[in-house]
Amino acid sequence: MTPRVVVGVSGASGAVIAVRIVELLATLGVAIDLVISSAAERTLAHEINAAAADRLRARADVAHGIDDIGATIASGSYPVAGMIVAPCSMRTLAAIAHSLSDNLLVRAADVQLKERRPLVLLARETPLHLGHLRAMTAVTEMGAVIMPPVPAFYRRPASVEAIIDHIARRAIDQLRISPQIAGAWTP
C-alpha cells in the first residue's frame, strides 16, 4: 500500500523547504495531500516566484483549499502516515498548540495529534520569546516533533540547496515511512 502524507505550508519564511519535501516524497512514491495557507501563497510568490504555489499543487496528488474544513484530511478516518508542516509559522504552531482548528491546515494537524500519528513542525522564527517556547512545549507534550530547519554544518554543505535538501530529508525521516533518506552521520 502506498503511504500517504499530508504536507501543510504556512506563511513563514522557508517556502523552498516545502517544495523540496514535496519533490522528495513524490520521488519516494508517497501520495501527497497538500494544503497551503493564504500567507504561504504570498511567501511562495515572494521567495520563489508567482507560479510556485500552482507548481506545488500540481506535484501533489490532492491539493486542498485552506478553508475546506470538510476535506478528507480533516477526519481521523482518512488514513495517512503523518503530516509535515514546512515551514511552520508561529501563528500556525500556536493554533495547533491550542487546538484552534479554524482552517484546514490546523485541523489536519489536530487530527494527526488526536490519532497519535507523526506530526513534524518545521518551526521558523528567531529569536524566540516565551510564548513561542510555551507553544512548542505544548505541541511536543501532545506528541508533535518540533524541528526547526537548522543546517547540519558538520556535513559541510557546499550550497544552500544542499542545506535545504538535508533539512527536507530529515523531516521526511521523522515520519519513518521509508528507510532513512537523510544519511547517517559518520565521523
**pLDDT tens figures, 57-71:** 999 999 999 999 999
The pLDDT value recorded for residue 1 is 74
The pLDDT value recorded for residue 183 is 87
Phi and psi at residue 168, in whole multiples of 5°?
-60, -45
Q: 39 pLDDT exceeds 80?
A: yes
Residue with cell 501532545: 142
- Domain range annotation of the chain: 4-175
- Strand order through the sheet with 4-9: 62-64, 31-36, 4-9, 82-88, 119-123, 145-146
**Mean pLDDT along residues 18-30:** 97
C-alpha to C-alpha distance for 182 and 168, rounded to whole angstroms: 8
**pLDDT tens figures, 144-184:** 999 999 999 999 999 999 999 999 999 999 999 988 999 88
Instruction: Report the DSSP beta bridge partners of residue 7.
Output: 34, 84
Q: Which region holds residue 9: left if phi is over 0, alpha if psi is between -120 and 50, else beta?
A: beta
The pLDDT value recorded for residue 178 is 86
- 3 state SS of 95: helix
Q: What is the DSSP letter of 187?
A: -
Residues 90, 132 contacting (CB under 8 angstroms)? yes
CATH of domain 4-175: 3.40.50.1950
C-alpha to C-alpha distance for 62 and 108, rounded to whole angstroms: 14
